[in-house]
Chain A
Amino acid sequence: MTLTDLANPTKFLALTARILPWLAAATAVLLAIGLYQSATAPDDYQQGATVKIMFIHVPNAWLSMFVWGVMSVAALGTLVWRHPLADVAQKSAAPIGAAFTFLALVTGSLWGRPMWGTYWEWDARLTSVLILFLMYLGLMALWRAVEDPSRAARAAAVLTLVGAINLPIIKFSVDWWNTLHQGSSVFRIGGPTLDRAFLVPLFVMAIAFTLLFLTLHLAAMRNEILRRRVRSLQMMQADSRAA
């Protein structure tokens, strides 16, 4: 099946019906393994048991940026390739990305209070992630504010691509500025600095959360296609009544 085949919503719905149960099952299994490994991971010599917050904070933080990346590709699909499902993908991903970003901010604060002595600091990393969260909310508001779906899709695509500038700022903020937030310890030149005892559960949780996003995104895309089908059928119904 090619990307062109998926341009057909009917074929896309058939595909999601086949793969959603498998994706959901894989997510549940990996999440269970990840939670078990997180619970049994040793305490860090400095952070103590609060290192366990990292196993949920990092996957949420990674997904907050990954989802915007997915939306940026979908935005290109809307503006450049005019793929019929591109704006469906973009619109469906926004609330999920907003939820992951919210969780990254809150779990980070809950880790920061005992470790830094503060829930919040206006440093470059925290502020740029807060801006990302606000951009998600802005995008969702834009979809609701513009009634014509094709106009909303184009406006949202432009806003998404402009907002993508924030992604490298978030990633490199800890290198470019002197921040309270620590530097990269997983995806860095020279390899991860984390001990294997923490790295393994972190990777399992990151994969589990990524699969969760894919499951929710496909399900939300299916819902959006059905919503548009409802809308077009209601318009047909209104036309037939008027005739």
Chain B
Amino acid sequence: MSLGPYASFIVTAYALVALVLVLLIGWVMLDYRSQTQRLRELDASGITRRSGRGATELT
């Protein structure tokens, strides 16, 4: 596959899209981990939801 004289523009565009999407996916996954961790800590401290279910029960 030859990208011709503008290969640097094409490669930069694809690399940038890949980088931003990886950061976006990583941010969502880390945020999930952070929230579940905080819920586990609250569960360990004995705090329960009004429904009586544990903080870490996702459903």
Contact = CB atoms under 8 A, between A and B. Distances in A.
Interface of A: 10, 13-14, 17, 39-40, 43, 48-50, 52-53, 56-57, 60, 95-96, 99, 102-103, 106-107, 110-111, 113-114, 212, 216, 219-220, 222-223, 226-227, 229-230, 233-234, 236-237, 240
B1 A40 contact: yes
The dominant DSSP class at the A interface is: helix
Interface in B1-28: 1-7, 9-10, 12-14, 16-17, 20-21, 24-25, 27-28
Given A49-B7, A227-B35, A57 B21 contact: no
B31 A223 contact: yes
A53 B29 CA distance: 28
Contacts of A43: 4
A223 B49 CA distance: 17
B4 A53 contact: no
20 contacts: A13-B58, A49-B10, A50-B9, A52-B14, A95-B27, A103-B17, A103-B20, A106-B16, A107-B16, A107-B17, A110-B9, A114-B6, A114-B9, A223-B31, A229-B39, A230-B39, A230-B55, A233-B47, A233-B49, A233-B55
Given A49-B3, A114-B6, A230-B55, 11 more contacts: A48-B4, A48-B6, A52-B3, A95-B24, A96-B24, A107-B16, A111-B13, A223-B35, A226-B32, A226-B39, A236-B47
B3 A99 contact: no
Contact of A229 (B10, B12, B32, B49): B49
B24 A53 contact: no
Contacts of B9: 50, 53, 110-111, 113-114
B6 to A, nearest CB: 4
Interface residues of B, number: 34
Contact of A107 (B13, B47, B49): B13
The 3 A-B residue pairs with the shortest CB-CB distance, nearest first, are A226-B35, A114-B6, A110-B13
Contact of B16 (A10, A48, A103, A240): A103
Question: By DSSP majority rule, is chain B's interface helix, strand, loop, or mixed?
Answer: helix
A236 B39 CA distance: 13
Contacts of A40: 1
B35 A13 contact: no
A234 to B, nearest CB: 7
Contacts of A229: 39, 49, 55
Contacts of A114: 5-6, 9
A84 B27 CA distance: 24
A219 B58 CA distance: 13
